[in-house]
Structure 1
Amino acid sequence: MDRSKSKGIVVFSGGSAANNLVDVFKTVRENKKCPLSYVIPISDNGGSSSELIRVFGGPGIGDVRSRLVRLIPDDPDHDDSEKAALKVFFNHRLPKDRIEAKQEWLQIVEADHALWTNISTAKKELIRSILNLINFEILKRLRPSSTFDFSSASIGNLFLTGGRLFTGSFESAIYLLSSICSVPSHTSVVPAINTNFTHHISAGLANNTKITGQNSISHPSKITALEGMPATAPSEHEETEYHDSIEDANLPGSLPTLRKQYITFSKADDDDLPARIDRIWYINPFGQEIRLAANPRVLDALREAQAIVYSIGSLYTSLVPSLILKGVGEAIANPSIRYKILILNSTNDRETGPSSSPFSAVDFIAAIAKAGAESRGFTGEVGENEYKAYVTHLIHLQGPGTPRVDKEVLNGLGIETIRVYGRRMEGEGFVRYDEKALIQALEVTVGKREQRAERSRRNTLEG
């Protein structure tokens, strides 16, 4: 068999934003008849994941879970009510109220809940066994200083945590959920780091400010107070001593900001950062910088890749944490990978501002190149002539609020630009990618079709 025909596509992404493009990547994969790998970061410490991390340690699993569930296949030719039920089940969140959340959780583990409808007995009992295990582990860790808060907890996240504790392996838990959800074998969800530990990130801003923890970088949220937390704002020393008195999965003396509950947050109401983000790095629980190696499966996928796609999402918390890992930059820069495609966000967010100085397309590419260079141990400025080693093509929208794309500058850097048609949804202030147009742009770029896609209003190749 000609191995070149089976070389795969590797997509770097986070969770929710890129979930909207899963059908796009699925179609491109089918037309190319090749493997597809999603590389997902594990540094998120916000939302209900913060409580799982506080009590059990381990990686941030929310983005991995959301991608696995999104990949449950839809078969329009068959009425597969079980797959639909599994999608609802693993995406389900418990109520925000703490008491109501615990009551509903007990209904679920006791199989006395409508969520189990249409799930076969065999799968139900397998799922329940893992949920009962995590319930038992929660009870084992019950202490006067620490009780588990089920508020807004994701059933899928609880299942993945239970699977990891049962097998001792994060990837085994992913395999179990993939199997239950019938995720096709040609599509893989690969955590950027294969770990049973928690790994946090910090951001350095251009004004020398440092922000610790992904949640604080991307969407600062209201801290969920633990029982007994002082009503008045404590000093850093008092706060550290207070958290040391809580018996949970955190090491004594570790940074208080990494030990708090961030269950409630909003992605819509984020203030500007005081300056641009200059750099992202991993830290240990005490705030010291560490260099981590990528999951070997990520490097294997990159070695067998014909194309890399940087998907839409948060630049510095969805893409960069995967790109700075040891081994990734060198693998991406390998000239045997011909297509390294950035799908540019349709708007700038908190991470690519501030609003007075929003990122352009060149700024996005520079950040990716810098992350790739840091993965290779280089911490200085990256020359513009090196950008094309990490990004060869840019797909973008055009319209109000979209990042500025300087076609001539990008062409001078050896980067092709492809403008595609977008659509504006009612009630939204930004443009979304049109699926058909994006599929055409990707397929024109990687050259999969027998016939080159024609220029049209929906897909305009520039450069």
Structure 2
Amino acid sequence: MSSPPGAQGIVVFSGGSAANNLVDVFKTVRENKKCPLSYVIPISDNGGSSSELIRVFGGPGIGDVRSRLVRLIPDDPDHDDSEKAAIKVFFNHRLPKDRLAAKQEWLQIIEADHALWANISTAKKELIRSILNVVNYEILQRLRPSSAFDFSSASIGNLFLTGARLFTNSLESAIYLLSSICSVPSHTSVLPAISSNFTHHIRAGLADSTFITGQNAISHPSHPSHLEYPSTTSSPPTSTSTSETEYHDTIEDANPPGSLPTLRKPYLTFSKTPPTPTSDDLPARITRIWYINPYGQEIRLAANPRVLSALSSAQAVVYSIGSLYTSIVPSLILRGVGAALASPRIRCKILVLNSTVDRETGPSSRPFRAIDFVGAVANAAAQSQSVGGGAEGGKELGREEYGRYVTHVIHLAGEGTPEVDRGELQGLGIECLRVYGRRVEGEGWVRYDEKALVQALEVTMGRRERGMERLRRNTLEG
């Protein structure tokens, strides 16, 4: 179903894993409003198999883009479409953790001698295989005695997107090709926050004047966080030893000279679901996120023009669930985004509050409240418009400015959920809607109920239908 001419769209800022659970919610809202839907995804992820692709090939972190594209493969309950199911399994498949076993399975796949190819038509199979052979050839070209590609836990979808990007020399073309193969509807777009063939890393500044480099180290490190200190202070020097730097200098890889040693390390093993959300607290709250060049200097990057185009015709913006500072904020601080978000033409700017705090929104002794989430979003958007670092004028926004960037907060209630002071937010012109959630066995937090969240979003965006108020009383508290 195509969108009517001039239909105002919905733009969703999100990362990968967490927001994938809400894809059906946003799909339903889009269908009911008959408008385009755009997902804005950051490309700063440097963990998992993406870290090995970045080490060897450079280029953006494309894991979250791939996972969203594959998640958007249409499901048709009325038809048995075995090929779409097979393509979804294929691009979500990860090779074994054992290095040798992973290499052997990879060879089976590119030689078309693997069960994953079953139910994929010959035309699509040979197209996919040709791209995988491109990336395999590039891997062989880059093979050196000091550097061999590690296929451990590699995502086939990530390898495909990398091969397509190398072949076309365009990230957008690679996304278009995977979208076409996955039959992603034309009314739904997956937009990288930055359209680039280069790697872009982020750094987090903490309230104690230390900072952490790289998304993986900020969000879900494999090892205790490496804290860095500004060179202008009398604090202890960074813990990166000379021998470590010299070791990485001996490895021939895609990193340009001067790349920070902390960004050259592989991060193939990590967990996004620790035993408790705050089991590894940061020493202080995160105050700001910024992009850096390979030498560690702050840079200000422009947003993908397609992202700005989507915002210019949006009726609503949604800041989705996910890691606040590594999934949402990296897209908001890009040049052009903040000014677009500040426009009063966008009627609804909706923050869907996380159901719990995590490493980025702790520490456990002082977890983020709703007002802190709102402030982080608003300050990131203001930072996008500043000439130097920081928010507008180099200072944090006053709370009275938060309503320019967030107009509504949708949240859950219950043990472990962030505290919401409705009066505090309403005093800033920000409306709150509480949605009843559900607990999943084995999980320590509440999940959003899909039907309730759909209704909350539609009520917020102004959709009114007979019976809506009756349904709303069952699921919402406005």
TM-score by length of 1: 0.95
Structure 2 equivalent of residue 422 of structure 1: 437
Q: Which amino acid aligns with 2:285?
A: R
TM alignment of 1:43-54, pairs within 5 A: 43-54=44-55
Q: Which amino acid aligns with 2:419?
A: R
> Is 1:90–2:99 an aligned residue pair?
no
> Is 1:132–2:141 an aligned residue pair?
no
Structure 2 equivalent of residue 459 of structure 1: 475
Aligned Cα root-mean-square deviation (Å): 1.4
Aligned counterpart in structure 2 of residue 278 of structure 1, from 276, 287, 305: 287
> 1:311-340: CA deviations, max 9, x gaps?
000000000000000000000010000000
Corresponding residue SS for 2:438: strand
**CA–CA distance in structure 2, aligned partners of residues 99 and 4 of structure 1:** 53
Aligned counterpart in structure 2 of residue 242 of structure 1, from 223, 244, 247: 247
Structure 1 equivalent of residue 416 of structure 2: 401
Identify if the C-alpha distance between structure 1 residues 315 and 452 changes in structure 2 by more than 3 Å, giving closer, same or farther: farther
> 1:335-369: CA deviations, max 9, x gaps?
00000000000000000000000000000000000
Structure 2 equivalent of residue 228 of structure 1: none
Cα deviation for residue 183 of structure 1 reads 0.2
TM alignment of 1:22-37, pairs within 5 A: 22-37=23-38
> 1:14-46: CA deviations, max 9, x gaps?
000000000000000000000000000000000
2:4–2:34 Cα contact (<8 Å) kept: no
TM-score by length of 2: 0.92
> Is 1:289–2:298 an aligned residue pair?
yes
Task: Flag structure 2 segments of 5+ consecutive residues without an equivalent.
Answer: 225-238, 387-391
TM alignment of 1:221-260, pairs within 5 A: 221-222=222-223, 236-260=241-265
TM alignment of 1:57-456, pairs within 5 A: 57-222=58-223, 236-269=241-274, 270-377=279-386, 378=392, 379-451=394-466, 453-454=468-469, 456=472
Corresponding residue SS for 2:289: strand
> 1:109-140: CA deviations, max 9, x gaps?
00000000000000000000000110000000
Corresponding residue SS for 2:256: coil
Q: Which runs of 4+ in 1 moved over 3 A?
A: 2-5, 449-452, 455-458
**CA–CA distance in structure 1, aligned partners of residues 30 and 463 of structure 2:** 10
Structure 2 equivalent of residue 38 of structure 1: 39
**CA–CA distance in structure 2, aligned partners of residues 101 and 460 of structure 1:** 48
2:4–2:35 Cα contact (<8 Å) kept: no
Cα deviation for residue 99 of structure 1 reads 0.1
Identify if the C-alpha distance between structure 1 residues 446 and 175 changes in structure 2 by more than 3 Å, giving closer, same or farther: same
Identify if the C-alpha distance between structure 1 residues 355 and 458 changes in structure 2 by more than 3 Å, giving closer, same or farther: farther
Cα deviation for residue 5 of structure 1 reads 5.8
1:444–1:452 Cα contact (<8 Å) kept: no
2:240–2:261 Cα contact (<8 Å) kept: no
**CA–CA distance in structure 2, aligned partners of residues 170 and 251 of structure 1:** 20
Identify if the C-alpha distance between structure 1 residues 222 and 115 changes in structure 2 by more than 3 Å, giving closer, same or farther: farther
Q: Which amino acid aligns with 1:346?
A: S
Structure 1 equivalent of residue 19 of structure 2: 18
**CA–CA distance in structure 2, aligned partners of residues 429 and 458 of structure 1:** 24
**CA–CA distance in structure 1, aligned partners of residues 337 and 168 of structure 2:** 27
Q: How many residues align?
A: 451
**CA–CA distance in structure 2, aligned partners of residues 452 and 11 of structure 1:** 27
Corresponding residue SS for 2:70: helix
Cα deviation for residue 452 of structure 1 reads 6.7
Cα deviation for residue 239 of structure 1 reads 1.9
Corresponding residue SS for 2:360: helix
**CA–CA distance in structure 1, aligned partners of residues 439 and 163 of structure 2:** 41
Q: Which amino acid aligns with 1:22?
A: V
Structure 1 equivalent of residue 229 of structure 2: none
